[in-house]
Structures are given as structure tokens and as C-alpha cells.
Amino acid sequence: MATLETKAKPLILDTLHKRLLEHLTTSIVLLDENLTVQYLNGAAENLMSISESQIINLPAAKLFTGDQALLKGLKECLTSGRPYTQHEFRLNLVSGHHPTVDYTATPVEGESDTPMLLIEIRQLDRLLKISRDEATITTHQATKALIRGVAHEVKNPLGGIRGAAQLLEKELPSTELKDFTSVIIDEADRLRNLVDRMLGSHKLPTLAEINIHEVIERVKSVIEADVHGDIKIQRDYDISIPEIVADADQLIQAVMNLVRNAVQALLENKHQVDPEILITTRIVRQFTVGSQQYRLALRMNITDNGPGIPDALMESLFYPMVSGRAAGTGLGLSIAQSIIDQHHGIIECESRPGETCFSVTLPFLDKKIDR
């Protein structure tokens, strides 16, 4: 009986250890004696934008592309048996990202006393990102409150102006004079509609389980009908993503606004060669939105190869009435942000000439963890 308990215990511990590793916000990478990847925890998958199944049993050089100094240090660490720590190191990842991290490499013994290497990676950018996200959410909420106040002050007198113009129109003797009151009524209606669009929908989301890829395909079919083949739309889906609880119609509008924004940027760039939009979906783990941390979240990237967004616009990109285009209303991104905010998510943007990426992150709410 004692023998059975002794044999069963390591399996329980192994399972528990793996569960604990999956809940860490520190990225963990385990390499064997040949510097071949044997394990990534969820935080490492998130940091490196790659799943464990894609990199398992492949050389670490495939994961840390071009980092010869890092790979040399790992080899020396494994040979000498002495751990070492590197501060503020800029990684070159296979995903193309370059996060700044602190990392520690520690030699450990594997099965049959074979040497292995445990790498702990703490992303310095992550703390800055959490602070930036909290500031973005706070600013967005303050902007919404300001717009509501302004809308209230504008719509009340607009109603009075419109009503007075209608009464005046009935008293005017000639059709020519009534043309002026028609202008007043039409402009009052236009301003009221503009204010309503700035406020966005007052309707609360109708939540149901939906497939995010069905939402994207709906948007893709509409956009392709509009551009008549002038822009190529590519997709890279993670088909294992489960259904998410959301309002399908509102998400369609949000995604449509983001994709249309990319389309307009591409079409207005007359020198654009082979304009293309790439839409990807991935699962991210241990993601923080504001002050809340979630075990699992859905990330959708909408990337175009257009001219990029001017630096002067980046800070105010999601404010209403802010647009980099002469014909733009500046409401599309603001409305999209409001919709994603209602779903407890966030939109982020990174842009440089030749590549602009809007990232939408939506948490699986049943997986939320209170921090």
C-alpha cells in the first residue's frame, strides 16, 4: 500500500506544479541539455505570441531569433552550472516583438540527472503597459462624461431652436422665407444626429455566446464587396478559440469601424503597392485590463500595410472628432472603443510607416480573477 502511495505522489505533485506555473505572471521557459524547448507556461506563450505546441522540441534559437549573445550565455550557464541574471535585456522574438525584460537562467536536474535550463523572464514593458492601460481607460471614461455633459447642454437649446423655427415657418407668408426656416430645422437635426453619434448607443449589450470568427467573416464579406478587390484581406485564425460572451451586433460594428479605418488609410495612399489587411486571432493568458487580471482573453489584431498614423495623432486617436483624414468624422474609433469598453476589453494601437496594428483584447469574463 505504501508503495502505491509513493508512486502516485509524484504524479499529483507534477500536476500541481504545472498548474502553479500556468498561473504565474512570470514567463517560464524550460530547455534541455541541447537547448531545445521542453516547456513554456502561459505567460511565456503570451509574451512570445506563440503556443507551446508550435515551439516544443525545437531549438531555442527558433524562439530567440538573432539573439546570439543570449544563446551563448545560456550555453555557458548550462556548461558551468552557475545561474546568471541579465537586466533590461531587449529580446528578439520569433513573433517579431522586442520586449525589454529581466531574465534569470538557472541550471536544474531533469530526469536521469540530465542537465536542463530554467529561464525566468519578467517583462518590464508589462508594468508600463498596465499603467498606460489604466490611464487610457480613465481618460476614455472622463471623455465620455464630458461628452454627455456637452450633449445635454447642446441638445436642449437645439430642441428649442427647432421648435421655434417650426412655429415661425407656419406664420411666414412666402415660400422664399420658409426656405430659411427649413435651413434652421435641417441644421438643428444634423447637429442633434451628430451629438447622438458622439454619445453612441444607449442600449446595453445583449449578451450571448458567439463565435468571433463569424463576426470577422461577416465584416470581411461587407468590406470585400465595397473595395471590389482593390485591397487583399488575409485571415490567420486560431480555430481552437472558444465562444465568447458578447453582443454580436455591437462587435460587428466595432470590428467594421476598425477595418474601415484601415481600408480608408490604404485607399487614400495613392502610392500604396499591394494594399493588404491581415486579421489574426489568438488566445492570451494572464492579461490585465485596468485593475483586473484575467486568466484567458481573446486578442484580435487588425494590421494594414498603409502609411501609418502620425505621432501627433497617437495620443488622441480614440477621442471623438479627431481624425487624420480631411473627410473623416473622427467617430469610428471612438465608437469602437466605447463598444469594447462595454465588453470590459481594450483597444490598443501600434503604428509605423508600412504597418499599423489595432489590437482588440476581450476577456473571457467567466475566467476573471480579482487582483
Task: Please spell the DSSP secondary structure of 100-155, one letter per residue.
Answer: EEEEEEEEEE-GGG-EEEEEEEEEHHHHHHHHHHHHHHHHHHHHHHHHHHHHHHHH
Q: Quick check: 290 and 134 in contact, CB under 8 A?
A: yes
Distance CA(58)–CA(29), nearest Å, equals 12
Report the pLDDT value the prediction gives residue 251, as an integer from 0 to 100: 93
Give me the phi and psi of 32, to 5 degrees please.
-90, -170
Least confident of 27-31, 190-194, 365-369: 365-369
Report the pLDDT value the prediction gives residue 6, as an integer from 0 to 100: 39
Report the pLDDT value the prediction gives residue 179, as an integer from 0 to 100: 79
Assigned CATH class of 208-369: alpha beta
The pLDDT tens digits of the residues spanning 69-96 come to 888 999 999 989 899 998 888 888 877 7
Which DSSP letter does residue 204 get?
P
CATH no., domain 14-125: 3.30.450.20
The pLDDT tens digits of the residues spanning 328-349 come to 455 678 788 888 888 888 888 8
The pLDDT tens digits of the residues spanning 187-203 come to 888 877 777 666 665 66
Report the pLDDT value the prediction gives residue 211, as an integer from 0 to 100: 94
Distance CA(63)–CA(69), nearest Å, equals 14
**3-state DSSP call for residue 315?**
coil
The pLDDT tens digits of the residues spanning 265-284 come to 888 876 777 899 999 999 88
Give the mean model confidence (pLDDT) for residues 210-235. Answer: 91
Nearest to 255 by CA among 232, 287, 277, 276: 277
Report the pLDDT value the prediction gives residue 117, as an integer from 0 to 100: 93
Percent with pLDDT over 90 in the chain? 24
Residue 131 has pLDDT above 70, yes or no: no
Q: What is the CA radius of gyration of the chain?
A: 27
